[in-house]
Amino acid sequence: MLCLGIESSCDETAVALVRDGRLLGQRLASQVDVHALFGGVVPEIASREHLRVLPGLYRALLRDTGIAAEEISCVAVSRGPGLLGALLIGLSFAKGLALSLGVPLVGVNHLHAHLLAAGLERDVPFPALGLLVSGGHTQTYAVRGDDDFRLLGRTLDDAAGEAFDKAAKRMNFPYPGGKLLDELGREGEADIAMFPRAYIDNDNLDFSFSGLKTAMVNHVNAHPHLALPCLGGLEDISSDVRKELAVVCASFNWSIAETLRIKTERALRRVPDARALIVAGGVAANSMLRRVMGDLAHRRGVELVLPSLDLCTDNAAMVACAGERLAKAGRFHGLDLEAVPRGRKVPLDWLSAPA
């Protein structure tokens, strides 16, 4: 089976081809430079950029791989959650292709696709515990198969990635600032008393990072010299300020990683038959989180499954991978497939046969 994947849920436009679990090629257009001017993603601009670049990416992918459009067996597309306008661009393009090629359409849950992404690189043992950490979501799942995800815990307010981005923005780091915060944090030693571990004094599996984000903002407000004098101007600060800033970044990084570890370990106790711990999403590229989760998996005797860094961020390879697996399991959608914005549950409304 040859599956075309289409991703347009936020600010990355991507198309990919996967055949029998193997990635044949991917084309991706990032909008980071466009949104950096505003310090965050502007939904209307994101939608226009998807509309502008998607047809060209599709043609370039076919040219790169030497595959004719008629060889495509099914079209998979991120249907949500995400920015509604951005999702609709990808969804409309996918429907048009599926209709013109006469092939099945598969709507993919963007979050589930993140957790299945590592399947392009290795076998993922089930049952597993999945930790999804991104700019918009922080969730844990009991994953028992390609189409069997049970939500265990979710963020009640700010996601971990959002806390990273807002903290970085307060320090005048260029967008997206989470990567620079992680890199700078490697230069310092974490002060574990500097920031709280967020929302852990309970027995549930939900997350809340708004208080931790506020603590970081208040710390910078009280020490205004920690904010860069100009956007991205690390070269304009003294070595002493850089050392202090590195400690702050390391401490904030540690608080988020430790919070995620505590909740994930709690979730592992609720899924005693889990054979693996899957960590996915944009924040799964964070170096401290990868190290902390590696230690946790080792202690708990489960296999750690981490996608490569390229598969942590939004991409179409994961959509094609998930779509192909769903299609092989007989999961399809009709042309009435709806986009699902962030904040709404993605329904399990599959058809039993191709429309």
Enumerate the known binding-site residues for Fe cation.
Answer: 110, 114, 314
Kindly tell me the sign of the dihedral angle through the C-alpha atoms of 334, 120, 117, 36.
negative
Q: Which residues are documented as binding site?
A: 110, 114, 132-136, 165, 178, 182, 286, 314
- Which residue, among 41, 122, 20, has the nearest Cα to 85 in the 3D structure? 41
Partners of 76 in the beta sheet?
5, 106
Q: Which residues are documented as binding site for substrate?
A: 132-136, 165, 178, 182, 286
Token pair in block for residue 52: 């502008």
66 to 108, 139, 216: CA distances (angstroms): 26, 39, 50
C-alpha to C-alpha distance for 146 and 113, rounded to whole angstroms? 9
Phi, psi angle pair for 128, to nearest 5°: -140, 160
> Would you give the distance in Å from CA 304 to the centre of its chain?
17
> Would you give the distance in Å from CA 263 to the centre of its chain?
18
